[in-house]
């Protein structure tokens, strides 16, 4: 019985040694290829990484355009699985992205014009507010309109506590003038 166990243990060790040598040979071959030719990453992996980046960027911007580009990149990844030609992948991804963008514009426009939709930022011009941080010609100040605080600029210096009217909106900075 003891001899049988020794033989069995010896066989197991030989198998383990064989697989370790095979694994070592495989790792050596891969590392040699990386050193000689550089890393060979499958095209579909790059497309999926691009899609993931576009989806993350879409979550930050909320424009819908990056979402469609991300879906196009997923299509590019699918095509890359079957067709190794980069130009075919790019053309397929571009066509899908352009079609999605073209068809989503009217839908988004209908949602914005739809009953009950009003963007508060679009209606801010003409409203009055109070300066809560001095506005100078060199530096922006802060204006409170309703419950919101906005960065503001003006062509003249306006002191804290004065009332202003919003003349124009430039992205997140308002152009204001003092109410006489």
Q: What is the pLDDT at residue 13?
A: 67
pLDDT band with cut points at 50, 70 and 90 for residue 38: very low
Using CA atoms, how far residue 141 sits from 47, 135, 136, 177, in Å, is 45, 4, 7, 12
In sequence order, which residues have a C-beta less than 8 Å from that of residue 158 and are 6 or more positions away?
131, 134, 135, 141, 164, 176, 178
Kindly report which listed range (3-12, 33-42, 99-108, 166-175) carries the lowest average pLDDT score.
33-42
Domain edges within the chain: 43-113, 124-178
CATH class entry, domain 124-178: mainly beta
Longest CA span, the chain: 108
SS3 135: strand
Which residue's structure tokens are 């990149």? 73
pLDDT in tens, 79-109: 988 888 889 999 999 999 999 988 887 777 7
pTM: 0.45
pLDDT in tens, 101-154: 888 877 777 766 655 555 666 678 888 999 999 998 888 999 998 888 888 999
């Amino acid at each position: 019985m003891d001899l049988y166990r020794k033989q069995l243990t010896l066989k197991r060790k030989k198998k383990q040694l064989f697989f370790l040598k095979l694994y070592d040979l495989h790792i050596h071959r891969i590392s040699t290829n990386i050193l000689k030719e550089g890393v060979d990453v499958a095209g579909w992996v790059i497309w999926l990484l691009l899609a993931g980046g576009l989806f993350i960027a879409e979550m930050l911007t909320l424009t819908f355009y990056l979402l469609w580009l991300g879906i196009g990149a997923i299509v590019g990844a699918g095509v890359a699985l079957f067709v190794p030609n980069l130009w075919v992948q790019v053309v397929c991804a571009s066509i899908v992205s352009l079609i999605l963008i073209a068809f989503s514009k009217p839908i988004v426009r209908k949602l914005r014009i739809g009953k009950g939709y009003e963007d508060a930022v679009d209606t801010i011009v003409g409203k009055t507010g109070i300066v809560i941080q001095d506005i100078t010609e060199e530096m922006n100040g802060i204006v409170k309109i309703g419950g919101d605080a906005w960065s503001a600029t003006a062509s003249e210096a306006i002191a804290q506590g004065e009332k202003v009217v919003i003349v124009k909106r430039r992205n997140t900075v308002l152009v204001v003038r003092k109410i006489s």
